[in-house]
Every structure is written in structure tokens, then in C-alpha cells.
Amino acid sequence: MNPDRRPLIAANWKMHKTLGEAVAFVESIQEQTGPCADREVLIAPPFTALRGISGKLSLHGYSLGAQNCHWEQKGAFTGEISAAMLKDMGCAYVIVGHSERRQLFGETDETVRLKTSAAIGAGLAPVVCVGEALEERERGDAFEVIGRQLEGAFQGLGPERMNGVVIAYEPVWAIGTGRTATPGQAQEVHAFIRSRISSIFGKAIEKSVRILYGGSVKPSNVDALMAEPDIDGALVGGASLEVGSFKSLIQFNV
């Protein structure tokens, strides 16, 4: 963790929690943790809970995000939601290109690029997800895959549009499996991502962009992960669903 980049702990609830459950969670977590002065907490609930908890995230350091968006501003896209609609509901962030979206719903580097651009255009900070599958890692192709995903996501964007953009490294083989990249493995990839961002956008963006780790992050490993110099936070799934475990993640120590 670099002290010049404010740590970000992001909760991706996926398809969990009714509106009532979501409201109860955000009220409880804020009551137990209080304002966050030196770190930021992001809650990304299902679409159905966005409006309901938007006004409940009242403490300093808490932000609201969505899990997905469409790249068009409006149109005949049944079931889709635009970035502008998310901004209207109080979102500051939107997760783009999560591995589950890529694997289960056919998202590609091109759709991730379109969504990233749409989010920035609507005033949202995209959390752009990249990561390799187990077979890609075992073949030694992790850097090639991640490099391609980064270049695809940010193609055509200038450095002036990268302000606030977040990158999340999520090794697919560590999501929901209980397996976690070691801090050293994660740091190696984060350093590569930062280097690749430098080659695309220059040193200023390299130094400022926050890179999160996602993949079975839990209270028992968060401190070691956050101690690495290029890990600026965590994108958390299962451990973000219970107040107790998420509180422990927010209150990590380095």
C-alpha cells in the first residue's frame, strides 16, 4: 500500500440482499466503523437496492457503486441500465468487466472498453476488472492476458480521462474458490499492471491509479495483502456480505 493513494475497500454483493437487508447492513457497518478518514469504503449492491441505500451512506468515506452498466445512454435495451441512470441514483463508481460478466454473460474486451468510456462520460469512476484463468496462469500466460485486457479496456482513452479510474486484479482461479494468490503473487501482477499503465498513459497516471486485489479476500489475509506496495485495496465478494467480516476488512492494519 502506497500512502499517496487512498486505500479502497469495495464490497461487491453480486446477487445478494433484498432492499431491507441492504439498508440494515449499511446502517450497521457505519455505526460500528464510524467515518473513514484515511480509507474509502465502496458498497456495490444489486440494482434494486441502489436508490434505497444511496441516502443511507451518510458518513465520510463511504461511496455507492453499481455492479454493471450498459454502454449506450438510452435505447431499446430491455433489462439494461445506463451509466447516467446510475449517476442519477447516487452512484460514484461502477464495476466493469468482472470475470463473472466475462465468463457467464459473454463480455469481451470490446464491451469492457465501451462500458468504461460510457462510465467516464457519465461522471462515474469505473472499476475495471482484469485477471487470468487457472489454465492461463499455469501456461505462463497471465501477463499476456492481463496486458491484452488492459489495452482493450483503455483503447482510445487519453490520460485526461483516467482521473479516478480504478483497476481490480482478480485472478479467476481465486474467486469464490477459497484459494488466494499469495501477497507476493498478487504484488507481482499489480506491479506489472502499474508498469503497463505507465507505458500507456505515463508516469503520473501510473503513480495515481488505484489497483485493487480481488479473490477470496478475508480478514485473515487482508493485512498481508495490503502491506504490499502496489496493492491499494480490495474488491471483496463473500466476505463483504456479513457486517463482522467486512468491518475487519475495512479496519485492516499495515
SS3 135: helix
Catalytic residue flag (residue 151) = no
> Is 98 a catalytic site residue?
yes
Say if residue 35 is exposed, middle or buried (CB neighbours under 10 Å; 0-12, 13-18, 19+).
exposed
- Return the SS3 of 9: strand
Strand 233-236 and strand 40-44: the pairing is unpaired
Name the active-site residue from 98, 100, 107, 136: 98
Residue among 40, 107, 132, 170 flagged as catalytic = 170
Helix (H, G, I), strand (E, B) or coil at 34: coil
Within 8 A by CB and 6+ apart from 214, the residues are: 12, 129, 131, 168, 169, 170, 175, 234, 235, 236, 237
Catalytic residue annotation = 98, 170
